[in-house]
Structure 1
Amino acid sequence: MALFEGGMPGAPPPSFARATHLFADGLPAPLSAVPSFDDIPEALHSGGAQVPGNGHDRPYRFSFYSNALSATIHARSLSELPADGQTFAEMFSGLAGSGMSSGTASVDPRSAGAAVSGDPEGHTWWLDVLSPTDEEMKMLSQVFNIHPLTTEDIQMEEAREKIELFRTYYLVCFRSFDQDPYSPTYLEPLNMYIIVFREGILSFHFRPTPHPQNVRRRIKQLKDYISVTSDWISYALIDDITDAFGPLIQSIEYEVDSIDELVLILKEAEQSDMLRRIGTCRKKVMGLLRLMGNKADVVKGLAKRCNENWKVAPTSDIGLYLSDIQDHLITMTQNLNHYEKILSRSHSNYLAQISIEMTDANNQINDVLSKLTALGTVLIPMNLVTGLWGMNVHVPGEGSDGNYAWFLSIIGCLAAFAIIGGYTTYKFMVR
């Protein structure tokens, strides 16, 4: 049973009739006005100066798109979304309120007429929420009849990527990453939760991300050629998240090729930074492999539902787009695995080359030490002979004045021993 079913043609849907009541007088206090900035996570303003706790400096946390409106509505709280004199039921149904001011976004009469005529896919809405609070999640769950398990997954920031089908919607959990290279959380996982109804879509994320803006820009460019349905918006979000990995994988490919070529030809003085480059690149590859995870399986499961008789599942046309995304994901994963193998081989080659250089250095040291050992072998016996004749030992020929025959004989014997010992050692080392 779809969200809008059960109502008379031209009358507001029952769920939005309840939404009008809940968003009006019965709205809890934290949502009836602009929420406190203290409830917004620190990640929203971690990169700049401290944002004041009140005023108009708070970031826009709610973005409402509708193909019945000429522009996207951005608001800081739920209460700021409707225009003056417009109810939430009229805003989600694509109808202009009785008291709407002339400065608000205009309503497309064709889309509004489709909503009144009862065509659920003739008018599509999209509410994107950044860092929803517990009160906001409770209110949205009541209004859109979201299952408690879905609400719990979003509030607990469930990291596992999956697709779940419920009675009136299906949930897609898909992970992206922080794309700001100057952010301290660069490349960290960013969870995107997409709740797709037949009439519209709710998306939630807990850190700023460019994906919703990219999809809205894509819709603006292609709205004259495609039918913008809730299934197409969910596909476009998944496709934009997948495309975000492309430039990063391309840069990794260039780095891997450079490392693979330089690891064996760099001189010893130029290799000091190579190990760090290999380690940094492998860290990026492993991080991307973790982010890719089971994305292909999730998209495959979602595409499979398109061919089954599930009322809330996407149509078969969207299944063709999802199959294309699946092919891209499989190719990216295979490329990353290939890069990891190349880096592992380059790492082994680098360590092998370092080992060879250390072996050569050890061989040179051993050669020098062997020469010093040979020299010591020749000189030590000579010192032994001369050391026997101390001051208290009678030296041969000591009493003969002016006669150096004994002295010269001893020197000649030592010289002959040195020559014979050196020649013998040289022959032994050469052999």
Structure 2
Amino acid sequence: MPSGIGGIINTGHDRPYRFSFYSNALSATIHARSISELPAEGQSFEDLFNGDHSKNGNGNSLVGSGGDFEGNTWWLDVQCPTDEEMKMLSKVFSIHPLTTEDIQMEETREKIELFRNYYLVCFRSFDQDPYSPTHLEPLNMYIIVFREGTLSFHYRPTPHPQNVRRRITQLKDYISVTSDWISYALIDDITDAFGPLIQSIEYEVDSIDELVLILKDTEQSDMLRRIGTCRKKVMGLLRLMGNKADVVKGLAKRCNENWRVAPTSDIVRYITQDHLITMTQNLNHYEKILSRSHSNYLAQISIEMTDANNQINDVLSKLTALGTVLIPMNLVTGLWGMNVHVPGQGVDGYAWFVSIIAGLVAFAVIGGYSTYKFMVRRP
């Protein structure tokens, strides 16, 4: 147990609460801006972590008069730890340098590692950008589990620790809150956070799959954008889900091995990877549906473009047929606009003029009828 944590100076009351300390022996969680604010007045860090919370800073009793602290479990949650704080905590709790390095470097690989006096769980959550529904920023949670307590670290505000503490308050009369259970509860809360996103994606995928082939031309303008946005969400969640099932599987496997620091066998009944596997399979299924919808959309666009091209070709063929009839007539009639001798120029009367006009009309009728019959019979 830590016996001499110190050296962290409080720099002011305007700083956010970065430290949260829970203990079975406390009636409420302690929130502090610096680690030096955690113990009450006249209380040492050894008393704080050992469960001796007989008085708070106001002199009021925090625990029952029985004073039985057997089975005490503590949990220290740290947000944005500094290098000095990590160095101090690593020294006090005998944390391996590799673990300290992973936390300080914000290791993104999800994993479980066993050490001499604790095991480390790296698990990723997400921080959703309210201004971009498709942007999910990974949020790394590092959980160090000792037999007597738990340390958790993260570098951005997250609701998971508060959710777990609320869950402990609701269930503490029915379960034994151990360090293993706290680590399980954090993993479970992170996993449950993906549920609403996957549910919303399911609704969107079903809508796209039903509408992609029945929308009218005027209603299809944003379909490609909807498909692309939904696929981006799915790929982002698949990236975050990543190795979660393997981590949970490894955690359950360690429960059945003879490791002194491994999770106890009691936690096995809580740990299940079926939920994670199901969510990952659902996301892969949604990606296949969106890929098919994308292909169907592009195929429908291609069909519509083919129909439009056929209509254009039909109009052009009619214009070509009309030109075939009119151009020869224009060539003959154009002779009257030229300074050349034309048939019947020196003959009195309109016989030549009427004959030429009748010939042109006959040519137009015969040419138009022939063109019409040719286009009707065309396959």
* Counterpart residue number, 2:350: 404
User: What does the per-residue CA deviation read over 1:133-155, in whole Å, with 9 as the maximum and x for residues that have no partner?
Assistant: 11110010011000000000000
SS at match of 2:150: strand
Matched, 1:418 2:367: no
TM (norm. structure 1) is: 0.84
Contact 2:126 2:137 in 1 (8 A): yes
State the shift of 1:386 in Å: 2.6
State the shift of 1:322 in Å: 1.0
* Counterpart residue number, 2:228: 279
Q: Structure 1 residues 372 and 195 mapped into 2: Cα distance closer, same or farther (>3 Å)? A: same
State the shift of 1:400 in Å: 2.8
State the shift of 1:398 in Å: 1.6
Partner of residue 14 from structure 2, selected from 57, 70, 81: 57
Matched, 1:358 2:328: no
Partner of residue 293 from structure 1, selected from 211, 236, 242: 242
Structural mapping, 1:321-336, within 5 Å: 321-323=270-272, 326-336=273-283
State the shift of 1:340 in Å: 0.6
Matched, 1:73 2:30: yes
State the shift of 1:196 in Å: 0.3
Q: Distance in 2 between matches of 1:108 and 1:388?
A: 121
* Counterpart residue number, 1:8: none
Q: Structure 1 residues 66 and 330 mapped into 2: Cα distance closer, same or farther (>3 Å)? A: same
User: What does the per-residue CA deviation read over 1:203-244, in whole Å, with 9 as the maximum and x for residues that have no partner?
Assistant: 000000000000000000000000000000000000000000
User: What does the per-residue CA deviation read over 1:4-55, in whole Å, with 9 as the maximum and x for residues that have no partner?
Assistant: xxxxxxxxxxx423xx2x42xxx2xxx1223xxxxxxxxxxxxxxxxxxxx4
Matched, 1:165 2:110: no
Q: Structure 1 residues 108 and 63 mapped into 2: Cα distance closer, same or farther (>3 Å)? A: farther
RMSD: 1.7
Partner of residue 317 from structure 2, selected from 349, 367, 370: 370
Contact 1:161 1:295 in 2 (8 A): yes
Instruction: Could you list the structure 1 runs, at least 4 aligned residues long, displaced by more than 6 angstroms after superposition.
Output: none
SS at match of 1:322: coil
* Counterpart residue number, 1:223: 172
Q: Distance in 2 between matches of 1:269 and 1:411?
A: 50
Contact 1:198 1:312 in 2 (8 A): yes
Give ranges in structure 1 of 5+ residues lacking alignment: 1-14, 35-54, 116-121
Partner of residue 266 from structure 1, selected from 184, 203, 215: 215
Q: Distance in 2 between matches of 1:255 and 1:416?
A: 65
Give ranges in structure 2 of 5+ residues lacking alignment: none
Amino acid at match of 1:416: A
State the shift of 1:100 in Å: 4.6
* Counterpart residue number, 1:209: 158
SS at match of 2:233: helix
TM (norm. structure 2) is: 0.95
* Counterpart residue number, 2:10: 33
Partner of residue 192 from structure 1, selected from 125, 137, 141: 141
State the shift of 1:251 in Å: 0.8
State the shift of 1:188 in Å: 1.0
Greater CA drift, 78-87 or 384-393: 384-393
Amino acid at match of 2:332: V
Q: Distance in 2 between matches of 1:374 and 1:134?
A: 85
Amino acid at match of 1:417: F
Instruction: Give the count of matched residue pairs.
Output: 377
Partner of residue 295 from structure 2, selected from 348, 353, 361: 348
Contact 1:16 1:143 in 2 (8 A): yes
State the shift of 1:426 in Å: 1.1
State the shift of 1:186 in Å: 5.1
Q: Distance in 2 between matches of 1:81 and 1:127?
A: 10
Contact 2:201 2:234 in 1 (8 A): yes
Structural mapping, 1:129-140, within 5 Å: 129-140=78-89
Q: Structure 1 residues 366 and 206 mapped into 2: Cα distance closer, same or farther (>3 Å)? A: same
Q: Distance in 1 between matches of 2:132 and 2:13?
A: 24
User: What does the per-residue CA deviation read over 1:381-414, in whole Å, with 9 as the maximum and x for residues that have no partner?
Assistant: 112223345532112222234x000000011111
Contact 1:177 1:186 in 2 (8 A): no
Greater CA drift, 389-398 or 240-249: 389-398
